[in-house]
Copies of this chain bind each other. A is one copy, B any other.
């Protein structure tokens, strides 16, 4: 039995609330159970310097946690002078994941910044951020289209993410903090609406895992993402 009494292949209660930020071009408050992430999309008129005169745009992400999103208060990174390695790793992952479903040429030399601020953390913040970030990105692109800033639709597919792990010897979907802490293996999967794999990150905590175990996690992830994509479709309808 999982601590949350969920079935092994059961997601937490997920909600995707759009339009929560008054000034942003797109926004979504995503909840995976007690994990709450506020995602906003900001359109910036200038692409990063390395794209100048390329005709291409960019989608990037930033990630942060409020200090008391966690059980114990965590220090603000501003006082340590730089984002931690973990923060940078996560924001690079979110950015790459969202870019995998965007035609950057259609955006033109602009940049969309997806800010993912964790209001409350109970495991799986990066997967929630990717899933909710897609909604914010979608709405930002709609905002641009409604102002005739785009001719086609640069958003080619859905993308969502979920964590899986082996906990108590059993492969389980969408770990919360309590489960994640004790898991032997922890993996994050980023998968598109059409089932393409975008990112796979599996890490043994302690003892290495077998190929078989890994494949069972992949199966769980595909089922979980399919559900998340359905929720995204409902959200932006």
Contacts and interface: CB of A to CB of B under 8 A. Distances in A.
Interface of A: 21-24, 27, 34, 38, 40, 42, 44, 62, 64, 66-71, 73, 76-79, 81-85, 88-89, 91-92, 96, 100, 113, 115, 117, 119-120, 187, 191-192, 194-204, 206-211, 214, 218
A196 B210 contact: yes
A196 B191 CA distance: 25
B88 A76 contact: no
Given A21-B120, A22-B34, A201-B200, A67 B81 contact: no
A83 to B, nearest CB: 5
A42 B68 contact: yes
A164 B187 CA distance: 19
A83 B73 contact: no
Contacts of A196: 204, 207-210
Integer count of this chain's copies in the complex: 6
25 contacts: A21-B68, A22-B120, A23-B69, A24-B68, A38-B119, A40-B68, A62-B67, A64-B76, A66-B115, A67-B113, A73-B113, A73-B115, A78-B78, A85-B89, A88-B89, A89-B89, A89-B92, A96-B203, A192-B208, A196-B207, A196-B208, A196-B210, A197-B214, A200-B200, A201-B202
Contacts of A214: 197, 200
A89 B196 CA distance: 25
A93 B191 CA distance: 23
A207 B24 CA distance: 29
Given A38-B119, A67-B113, A198-B208, 20 more contacts: A21-B68, A23-B69, A24-B68, A40-B66, A40-B68, A62-B67, A64-B76, A64-B78, A67-B115, A76-B78, A81-B81, A89-B89, A195-B210, A196-B210, A197-B202, A197-B204, A197-B208, A197-B214, A200-B200, A201-B202
Nearest to A99: B206
> Which of A85, A100, A206 counts the most B-chain CB atoms under 10 A from its CB?
A85
Contacts of A38: 66, 119
Contacts of A79: 83
A209 B40 CA distance: 28
